[in-house]
Structure 1
Amino acid sequence: MSNQDPEITGEKRSDKLRLGALAALVIGSMVGSGVFSLPQNMAAGAGPLAILLGWLITGVGMLALVFVYQSLSQRKPELDAGPYAYARAGFGPFIGFNSAWGYWISAWVGNVSYVVIVFSALSYFFPVFGDGNTWQAILGASILLWLVHLLILRGTREAAVINTIVTVAKILPIVLFVVVVLVTFKYDIFTLDFTGKGNMDLGSLLDQVRSTMLVTLWVFIGIEGASVYSARAERRKDVATATVLGFFTCIILYALISLLSLGIVTQPELAAMKNPSMAGVMEIVVGSWGAVLINLALVVSVAGAFLSWTMLAAEVPHVAGKDGTMPLFFGRESARKVPVHSLTVTNLLVQAFLILTFFAHSTYQALFYIASSMILVPYIFSGAYAAKLAITGENYRADEPRIRPLIGGVVATIYGIWLVYAAGMSYLFMCAVLYAPGILIYIWARREHGRRVFRPWEAVLAAALALIAIYAGYEMWTGAVSAL
């Protein structure tokens, strides 16, 4: 029924999200903290050529993922909550659960990184906040967390309207930055060490390209935002349009920010900058007012992204709870149609991780690497499901061409697997440790509905995941591997 007109279903049209709100949700989810640190994050491990190649690979992979979500939203309009629903429909309840679980963890760990970087930026004005992980910063982050919680409890649509306003407000300073560095761009600085071979610490060209991958993935997480909220869209076709608009808006901004900055300062200087590095570049060009503007823009931007991702993080376990993949507890709503239980558990976990960052001295970068790694499972299975539909012909007319969606699904899947390789062992081990506890939640949900817990191959997969997590935990305990 979710793809029917709201007037037919009895739902009020005012409760639904229009194209503008959906596009703002996509852009607002992607444009958060990462964009303001892109110059340094990219230059830290790569020269201009590798960064160009990194954006080329990311552009192809993410565009394929865009086509996947565009195709699936039209091919399977009855499936809500995007990545989770596609994995479940294509590969069974256990894979679907893990997709929901991974997406959820990625979302709330990403939220931890957002509030950490907010207070790191505020340290430009109030040094007591340090790198965003002092006790004063954790206290401030906790207050912000629960204020956002109260805002969302007022209703999803009200939060989406505020998100649209914030999205416009944070894009304007980013566009100004692009214009300023474009005007002052120096070609001789950009080409000074184009391949990065002059800096032995960067390694080979492949090593340099690999170093950019989790950074580029991080700034594109949220591309599926409209798909996750498909059940609340006024028109189902707006989901695909919003996703395409969000992708092209963001990739143009991202590539220009990271590449043009290398025409202002050299790669080693840019790599050594304190984040948010956009502020440092802006200060070089226009003076201290530029750094003030970018730091303020970061606070506004991340506050908006934090709002978007809190909404997204609560939505996936909520939908999974309603259909029985996660415990029914997560599926309950308030009178305002807010997934109150899912939202509360999500924010309690964010609060717990915030406290952990204080004791572990975790940085923003470590947190976004974990969030990026965790979301790979949902992305890989979304691409694989699109390819599977094209191969089997399900929901296709007999004379309908299937080669384009097949290529899109295959490319998106290969891109996800390449990112698993690029992530490295430390973050894969951390993912195993975070995925394994979900097995117990899955068992709880299946028994709650009187369903068979595992099929044979799912039991083998669950056992393998548990063993890898135990081994990974041991390696981290001994200090052999560290992710935080």
Structure 2
Amino acid sequence: MPAASALVIGSIIGTGVFALPSALAPYGPISLVAFGVVTLGALALALTFGALSKRVSASGGPYVYAREAFGEFAGFLNAWSYWITAWAGNAAIAVAWVGYVEVFVNTGHQKWISVLLAVAGLWVPAAINLTGVRNTGAFQVITTVLKFVPLVFMATVGLLFIDADNFGPFNASNQSAIGAISAAGAIALFSYLGLEAAAVVAGRVRKPGRNVPRATVYGTLLCAVIYILGTLAVFGTVAHGKLGGSTAPFTDAANNIFGGTWAGDLVAAAAIISGIGALNGWTMLCAEMPYAAARDGLFPRAFAQLRGRNEVPAFGIVASTVLASLITVFSYTSFQDVFTKIVLLSVLTAVIPYLFSAAAQLYWLLARGGERTGPGRLTRDVTVAALALVFSYWSIQGSGYQTVYYGLFVLLLGVPVYVWLKRGEAVDGQTPEPKAAAIPAQRRRAPETPPPARRFRHGSRTERADRTRERDDLRHRD
């Protein structure tokens, strides 16, 4: 459980929380209300993912849940959307990370040096992931511990130095209160992306039925406390007029509290470590879900190939990092508010799998006749899943029309890919046999000697594919 919890916390707490106060500053303190609403929604999602991981303990998270509940096409769309979230989110994390790196270097913020720093920040975690899952998990634990101490310090000691004059107007935007909360909430949700991390890699977690739900819920709760208190401290220690233009708001807050620059430098160092840890976890997720989908024939075959002695999905890691690098370069050269633009796209493409996951939970609870437990527990589970579903819809509308337009466009780009993947399955008008369901964790350990019934060489193309997939399940999901 420690590694799974570290993956959740490390994936959630990246540089998002360190850059978030500046992104929320245009809305004023009302964004703290939005943060509270988003926190409740994130907890509903965490509980939903925890419940879903007990039903389907294979790797893949939202992709697996959508596929098992609604079929292959829904599974593909979720895998496609989440994959976009992962590498686009990495670009946003890298942009925020550069803001703290430039506390020490490139203090003049020369654009092309910033671009080079961001690209380097993307490829270092990719190199770590290419060395294997064990190294990735160990690195995640180390970075989580190192970054947590200064974050807790800022979220506690910083509260003692709050000055009410720094908050500015409660609603600094030109929108209604509901509109401001919705818009600020869409940005704030980015800081919680990654709460499903343990569910995505459930097939690689020991005792996933127990450890994945605990890691998901406890990790989200812990991050929520740090987020709300830390953001409150920054809003109260940095003047509102300066906060919106800050590239390192936590550093500015620390310097205002203690004077000089030494405290801000320590916070900047923590943010740099935090960003690398988050990029490390998200780079794993960039490859893990496409790997699960590719093994089911719902993503290009190259994503399912394992390379090296440690058998890592190298193609997924490299391809995702290349795309993240490209969108980083494009954003720096095309947008002024680089971080916010990428954040909103990442949130939208993440919320779609969240919505399908909540719907899958409701489907299993209601459409399949409910649970074998008492009505009290069924009512509770249905309520939580319904809240997660409503929260997902709310987050989509809060992303803004332009973001929804671009997000829908990139999502539908996956339709031709799905058609291409399925082009060879139906022959002579016959419908291919359905794929086998994911093998539960408790049955994944392969016997030393395969039973005689599995030693055959002939059979249809579909049968051979199914047998190959089963052998891969037994070999790689332990």
Are 1:232 and 2:204 matched, yes or no? yes
Shift of 1:453: 12
**How far, CA to CA, are the matches of 2:126 and 2:168 in structure 1?**
48
In the alignment, is the contact (CA less than 8 A) between 2:183 and 2:398 conserved in 1? yes
Alpha-carbon displacement from aligned partner over 1:228-266 (angstroms, at most 9, x marks no partner): 010001111100010011111110011111223333345
Are 1:382 and 2:376 matched, yes or no? no
Q: Which residue of 1 aligns with 2:387?
A: 411
Give the letter for the 2:46 counterpart.
Answer: V
Shift of 1:203: 3.1
Are 1:87 and 2:66 matched, yes or no? yes
Counterparts of 1:51-450 in structure 2 under 5 Å?
51-77=31-57, 79-127=58-106, 130=109, 134-186=111-163, 188-189=164-165, 193=169, 195-196=170-171, 199=172, 201-236=173-208, 237-266=210-239, 268-269=240-241, 271-287=243-259, 288-334=261-307, 335-361=309-335, 363-393=338-368, 396-397=371-372, 401-450=377-426
Q: 1:229 to 1:394 in 2, by over 3 A?
A: farther
Alpha-carbon displacement from aligned partner over 1:199-234 (angstroms, at most 9, x marks no partner): 5x4432212212321222100000000000100011
**How far, CA to CA, are the matches of 2:13 and 2:422 in structure 1?**
37
Alpha-carbon displacement from aligned partner over 1:365-424 (angstroms, at most 9, x marks no partner): 211121111111100011111111111246832756411111111110100001111111
**How far, CA to CA, are the matches of 1:135 and 1:453 in structure 2?**
55
**How far, CA to CA, are the matches of 1:68 and 1:158 in structure 2?**
29
In the alignment, is the contact (CA less than 8 A) between 2:95 and 2:118 conserved in 1? yes
Give the CA RMSD over aligned residues.
Answer: 2.4
Q: 1:270 to 1:411 in 2, by over 3 A?
A: farther
**How far, CA to CA, are the matches of 2:59 and 2:120 in structure 1?**
32
Q: 1:276 to 1:395 in 2, by over 3 A?
A: same
Shift of 1:349: 1.3
Give the letter for the 1:158 counterpart.
Answer: N
Give the letter for the 1:106 counterpart.
Answer: T
Please say which of residues 292-301 and 238-247 is displaced more in the overlay. 292-301
Please say which of residues 145-154 and 99-108 is displaced more in the overlay. 145-154
Give the letter for the 1:387 counterpart.
Answer: L
Q: 1:326 to 1:272 in 2, by over 3 A?
A: closer
**How far, CA to CA, are the matches of 2:117 and 2:253 in structure 1?**
28
Q: Secondary structure at the match of 2:306?
A: coil
**How far, CA to CA, are the matches of 1:394 and 1:227 in structure 2?**
25
Q: Give aligned pairs, total.
A: 426
Counterparts of 1:450-469 in structure 2 under 5 Å?
450=426
In the alignment, is the contact (CA less than 8 A) between 1:109 and 1:350 conserved in 2? yes
In the alignment, is the contact (CA less than 8 A) between 1:226 and 1:239 conserved in 2? yes
Q: Secondary structure at the match of 1:44?
A: helix
**How far, CA to CA, are the matches of 1:154 and 1:112 in structure 2?**
22
Please say which of residues 175-184 and 158-167 is displaced more in the overlay. 175-184
Shift of 1:450: 4.3
Are 1:27 and 2:5 matched, yes or no? no
In the alignment, is the contact (CA less than 8 A) between 2:88 and 2:345 conserved in 1? yes
Please say which of residues 418-427 and 292-301 is displaced more in the overlay. 292-301
**How far, CA to CA, are the matches of 2:256 and 2:41 in structure 1?**
34
In the alignment, is the contact (CA less than 8 A) between 2:36 and 2:228 conserved in 1? no
Q: Secondary structure at the match of 1:203?
A: coil
The alignment-based identity, stated in percent, is 27
Alpha-carbon displacement from aligned partner over 1:104-148 (angstroms, at most 9, x marks no partner): 1111011112222222322222236727xx222323333443333
In the alignment, is the contact (CA less than 8 A) between 2:23 and 2:244 conserved in 1? no
Flag structure 1 segments of 5+ consecutive residues without an equivalent.
1-18, 455-484
Shift of 1:317: 0.5
Q: What's the TM-score once normalised by structure 1's chain length? A: 0.82
**How far, CA to CA, are the matches of 1:117 and 1:53 in structure 2?**
23
**How far, CA to CA, are the matches of 1:448 and 1:326 in structure 2?**
14
In the alignment, is the contact (CA less than 8 A) between 2:28 and 2:167 conserved in 1? no
In the alignment, is the contact (CA less than 8 A) between 2:31 and 2:184 conserved in 1? yes
In the alignment, is the contact (CA less than 8 A) between 1:128 and 1:136 conserved in 2? no
Alpha-carbon displacement from aligned partner over 1:348-379 (angstroms, at most 9, x marks no partner): 21232233234324612211121111111100
**How far, CA to CA, are the matches of 1:140 and 1:42 in structure 2?**
24
**How far, CA to CA, are the matches of 2:373 and 2:249 in structure 1?**
53
**How far, CA to CA, are the matches of 1:61 and 1:180 in structure 2?**
28
**How far, CA to CA, are the matches of 1:393 and 1:108 in structure 2?**
35
Q: 1:252 to 1:128 in 2, by over 3 A?
A: closer
**How far, CA to CA, are the matches of 1:398 and 1:181 in structure 2?**
46
Please say which of residues 113-122 and 316-325 is displaced more in the overlay. 113-122
Q: Secondary structure at the match of 2:423?
A: helix
Alpha-carbon displacement from aligned partner over 1:60-100 (angstroms, at most 9, x marks no partner): 211111111111111333x4311111111222211211111
Flag structure 2 segments of 5+ consecutive residues without an equivalent.
432-478
In the alignment, is the contact (CA less than 8 A) between 1:273 and 1:280 conserved in 2? no
**How far, CA to CA, are the matches of 1:330 and 1:394 in structure 2?**
36
Give the letter for the 1:39 counterpart.
Answer: P
**How far, CA to CA, are the matches of 1:366 and 1:418 in structure 2?**
19
**How far, CA to CA, are the matches of 1:52 and 1:108 in structure 2?**
28
Q: Which residue of 2 aligns with 1:37?
A: 19
Q: 1:99 to 1:129 in 2, by over 3 A?
A: farther
Alpha-carbon displacement from aligned partner over 1:269-313 (angstroms, at most 9, x marks no partner): 354341221111111111211221222211111111111100011
